[in-house]
Amino acid sequence: MRIYHFSEQPCPEAWGEQNASLRVNLASRNCDPRAMAEHYHHRLDEWLALWDPDATYWVPCNDDDGDPARSVSVIYDRRGQLRNRIQRIKETLWLKEQAPRLRRIVGNIEVESESGDDLVVGSNFILAELHRHRQTLWAGNTIHRLIPDGDGFRIKYKKVVLLNNDEPLPNLLFLI
């Protein structure tokens, strides 16, 4: 399998109407991942623009591969619901006053399959969250199904399997 450098958010210098598509580049990057992490949670509208209009965002609960129509999920949103979730995050007063500080490490990025126009990319992550003097670690794996959009991609499907999805979870103050 080929290994890709993959970022779910566009490079800060690429933010703009003409470059609002996801890029999957082989073997090179032309932007600083630290800069992307710094800007990610302040640019939720730009992040949402990376999603296909018919996209699904799923964070399963208890069972990594259960049927989301028949079992509880931490998050199971279509794009419209995801837009509403982002709006609530942006309007929550106590999050505006003190937004969580986040640092994310993404690794083991592999293209799991390429069929037709679809590209399925898997990765593992560790995310550290600091909010109101409390640090929480989140870990798991992510599957992205990407579809072509010009010379980039759009997110058609994202599934985040948290390592501890079968245990009580604290509130997610961000989109994982």
CATH of the domain at 100: 3.10.450.50
HEC string for 138-175: EEEEEEEEEEEECCEEEEEEEEEEECCCCCCCCCCCCC
Position 36 in a domain: yes
The total number of structural domains in the chain stands at: 1
Position 74 in a domain: yes
Position 169 in a domain: no
For the cut 70, the answer to whether the pLDDT of residue 34 exceeds it is no
pLDDT tens-digit readout, 54-74 = 999 999 999 888 888 898 999
pLDDT band at 43 (very low <50, low <70, confident <90, very high): confident
Average pLDDT, the chain: 78
Q: Print the domain residue range for 69.
A: 5-162
Position 175 in a domain: no
pLDDT band at 7 (very low <50, low <70, confident <90, very high): low
